[in-house]
Structure 1
Amino acid sequence: MDRLTAARVFVSVVEQGSLTQAAEQLDMSTAMVSRYLAAMETWLGARLLHRTTRRLSLTEAGQSALPSCRQLLDLAQDVEHQAGAAQREPAGRLRIACSPSFAEAQLAPAFIDFQRAHPRVSFALLAADRSVDLATERVDLAVRITNALEPTLITRPLALCRSVLCASPAYLHAHGRPATLGDLQAHRCLSHAFVNAAQYRLRREGELVELPFADSFSTNETAVLRRAVLAGGGIAMLPTYFVGGDLASGRLVRVLPELEPETLGIHAIFLSRQHQPLALRLLVDFLAARFGGPTPPWDAA
């Protein structure tokens, strides 16, 4: 049997969670999917999946083999893409999901720049502070900011998300600037309901410190939190991709700069690397080039 197809079947079974759904995705019979899986296990000399009547799970050998199989499929796709890319132009509509704050501050201008180079590509941007179900909501690409990704997701790192504790000059003038971690608890603290939840996670000399606080203002929207801080409401933790301009202009002032809030990853997430539209592949490459590197563009200052 074709080993490339067998690798594709194995990856699809893992991603879909069942042989039946993988068979539907690949337009094969369930029996053929089973034969390809058996062939893979014979070639590798190890069992790849634990199979019960209710669920499938990867064996240790399967966990080791999965990244290599995905890399093999990526390589095959790259060869195909490079051979035909010169004759194709990206086109079509892409449905993208992302948090409202990152969509507003970074993705919207990035998409406009992308469209200048590829005018036949259009976007439907779903801005929501929740993890969307890509299959159910027909999302081509989700951009998520987290350090806790499910291992079965297909992802590509785009950038790092750093945050700062900050306040307005007016608030610090009225209430003083905290000098120690203990001082912070005596101040008015504002929080993001989903991110901070009345607790800051900070690094001090490499050690992670969790500091609970009584929040005087909480919201589920980063833009609202920023507006409250600018109005002099107190101290909050905000991402630099959203408040970099405020810090550079002096509208906001960093507080306790020796304390480093936890750095998160910004990831591109999609359902499958197989048969991706050219526009989606080019967009992910574009975003990785625009935002990537040890220092994202919004932190360059």
Structure 2
Amino acid sequence: MDRITAAKVFLTVAETGSFTATAERLDLSKPMVSRAVALLEDWFKARLLQRTTRKVSLTEAGEQALEYCRKMADLTDGIEQDFLARSGELSGTLRIAANPSFGGSHLLRALQDFMDLHPKLNIQLQLSDQKTDLLENRIDLALRFTNQVEPGLVARRLNQIHSLLVATPDYLSRFGTPTTPQDLTRHRYLAHANVNQKTWRFFRDGKETALELTSPFSVNDSNALLNCVLSGGGIAMLPKYMVNGYLAQGRLKTVLTDWALPVYSLYALYLTRHRLPLAVRSLLDFLAERFEGEDW
């Protein structure tokens, strides 16, 4: 094992505080991680890490070695990025996280086009409605709808996400069209378990109306909620990016259009700007251009 590789392993140990976590993140065996640290300790002629049964921490010499290793890693990464930028060729693996409704549609199509431009690049897409821990799951980029970015994450805003209240024409002909938010209590209103299972918020003329509604049906998946609405099951609040096509086809109609619903921002989230890989930077720029101006 060369010293540059050993330095990068040591940096990861310092970040995670664990040989096991380092081995998992770098796809190495624990003996290989130990070997890398031993190589650096032999090179620096000092003990760099203090090991206990629960934690690995830096010694004073380790703190000094950390700075040298960062400079080595930055230099080698910079050289690699410069050559990749000149060739325009991206390779390696990117791990992306997103929710199923957006990740399995708009994002998926964008990633396919990005891979067509960079055929040597591999992408692993993880879809979940639960927040993914970027560090623990080794996620390079997460796309998330939020108005409050978690501390410790770097965020790039890609677009705004609006929602609409929708139902089928058949449902509205049978049960009528609500004209005020309070009218929903006389309808079959369907909720997303993670968004509006209990509280529905409406805005008009700068004022907010919050209703506590107990939906007769809720589900924790937006695609399932959409299918329920399309089958005539009732009225639901769904992201505009999911229903635009059905509205154009006449399969869905909007209700309460004179009331605004909560708006969220679509962010691309990542752990740090420091030594951001070229593939991640390129994908960020690609997604920003792709999603800018979308009617969402």
- Normalising by structure 2, report the TM-score: 0.72
Do structure 1's residue 21 and structure 2's residue 7 form an aligned pair? no
Separation in 2 of the partners of 1:146 and 1:195? 11
Do structure 1's residue 266 and structure 2's residue 260 form an aligned pair? no
How far did residue 245 of structure 1 move? 0.6
- Normalising by structure 1, report the TM-score: 0.71
Do structure 1's residue 196 and structure 2's residue 190 form an aligned pair? no
Which residue of 2 is the match for residue 239 of structure 1?
239
Separation in 2 of the partners of 1:272 and 1:240? 31
Which residue of 2 is the match for residue 85 of structure 1?
85
How far did residue 139 of structure 1 move? 1.2
Which residue of 2 is the match for residue 113 of structure 1?
113
Which residue of 2 is the match for residue 123 of structure 1?
123
How far did residue 159 of structure 1 move? 1.1
Contact 1:23–1:30 (Cα < 8 Å) also in 2: no
Separation in 2 of the partners of 1:131 and 1:233? 29
How far did residue 87 of structure 1 move? 3.3
RMSD of aligned alpha carbons: 2.8
Which residue of 1 is the match for residue 214 of structure 2?
214
Which residue of 2 is the match for residue 4 of structure 1?
none
Structure 2 gap segments, 5+ residues each: 1-11, 23-39, 41-47, 49-57, 65-76
Q: 1:73-122 CA deviation, whole Å, 9 max, x = no partner?
A: xxxx9999678622351111111111000112211101111111111112
Structure 1 gap segments, 5+ residues each: 1-15, 36-76
Separation in 1 of the partners of 2:108 and 2:173? 35
Separation in 2 of the partners of 1:82 and 1:155? 24
Contact 2:81–2:277 (Cα < 8 Å) also in 1: no
What amino acid sits opposite 2:109 in the alignment? P
Which residue of 1 is the match for residue 8 of structure 2?
none
Separation in 1 of the partners of 2:243 and 2:62? 50
Runs in 1 of length 4+ with deviation above 3 angstroms? 20-25, 27-35, 77-84
Which residue of 2 is the match for residue 98 of structure 1?
98
Contact 2:198–2:214 (Cα < 8 Å) also in 1: yes
- Distance change (3 Å), C-alpha of 1:211 and 1:33: farther
Structure showing greater Rg: 2
Contact 1:105–1:241 (Cα < 8 Å) also in 2: no
SS of structure 2 residue aligned to 1:89: coil
- Distance change (3 Å), C-alpha of 1:104 and 1:21: closer
